[in-house]
Structure 1
Amino acid sequence: MGRLFVINLEGKIYSCKHCQTQLALYDDILSKSFHCRHGKAYLFRKVVNVSVGEKEDRMMITGMHTVADIFCVGCGSIVGWTYEAAHEKSQKYKEGKFVLERFKVSGPDGSNYWPSREAHISGSDADDA
């Protein structure tokens, strides 16, 4: 493996909750209305310091999408996913965007999100339909 270069961000930052590697800026949030198995998730226009896994088709609440998990480069934890392709015309806006699961990141103020017990049974874009 080569040398790891980590991009440093300035401003309100979301970081990996395990190793504090910086991942995204608050100003790059497009939507806070996404959900996953652990509760809240946020859609970002861009993220940094992640590696992208294998593409796969997943059936989500909003239809079939080609997605890839994204991993923190600092510790290797899965922190969310990226939308490679949306099969529904109305979902094309997600292509090339990233979702960070709130449960897996620390907020700009250092806060962590703790999912409720009901989070895993509520509908979401990340859950298999």
Structure 2
Amino acid sequence: MGKLYLIQLEGRIYSCKYCRSHLANCDELVSKHFHCRHGKAYLFNTVVNVSVGPHEDRRMTTGLHTVADIYCNCCQQIVGWKYELAHELEQKYKEGKFILERAKVVDIDSNGTGTEFYLESQTVSSDTEDV
């Protein structure tokens, strides 16, 4: 197996709770109004340092979606999923985007000290997923 090269992000980021590998920049955050089996979940335009698993159809509260679990490249923990296909027209905006499960990530300021910070989020009953 080849050497693992991880992308290092700048600024305020979300990183893997287990190994602190950088996963997403806060600027890529689309919505905090999602849920998963473990609680809150955040929708991102792009993520880094993840591998995408096999596609599968999942029935969620907003309808049927084809998704793929995403795994941290460093520790191999599942950290969320990728929306491959939304079967409902009004859910098409999710296609190609990523969910990071809040319980599996930490908020980091990568500039300077690398200290953790926490963003308070409000949950909304709409757009709850995978409940």
**Structure 2, gaps ≥5 residues long:** 109-114, 120-126
Show the counterpart of 1:9.
Answer: 9
SS of equivalent residue, structure 1 residue 90: helix
**Structure 1, gaps ≥5 residues long:** 114-122
2:128 counterpart of 1:124: yes
- Counterparts of 1:7-86 in structure 2 under 5 Å? 7-86=7-86
Deviation at 1:54, TM superposition (A): 0.5
SS of equivalent residue, structure 2 residue 19: coil
**Number of residue equivalences:** 118
SS of equivalent residue, structure 1 residue 91: helix
SS of equivalent residue, structure 2 residue 27: helix
Paired letter, 1:47? V
CA distance in structure 2 between the aligned counterparts of 1:85 and 1:45, rounded to whole angstroms: 15
Deviation at 1:110, TM superposition (A): 2.0
Identity %: 61
Paired letter, 1:126? D
1:37 and 1:124 in contact (8 A); partners too: no
SS of equivalent residue, structure 1 residue 51: strand
Paired letter, 2:76? G
Cα offsets for 1:82-125 (capped at 9, x unmatched): 00000000000000000000000011352579xxxxxxxxx931
1:103 and 1:112 in contact (8 A); partners too: no
Q: Aligned Cα RMSD in Å?
A: 1.6
Report the TM-score when normalising by structure 2: 0.85
Paired letter, 1:27? D
SS of equivalent residue, structure 2 residue 54: strand
Deviation at 1:76, TM superposition (A): 0.2
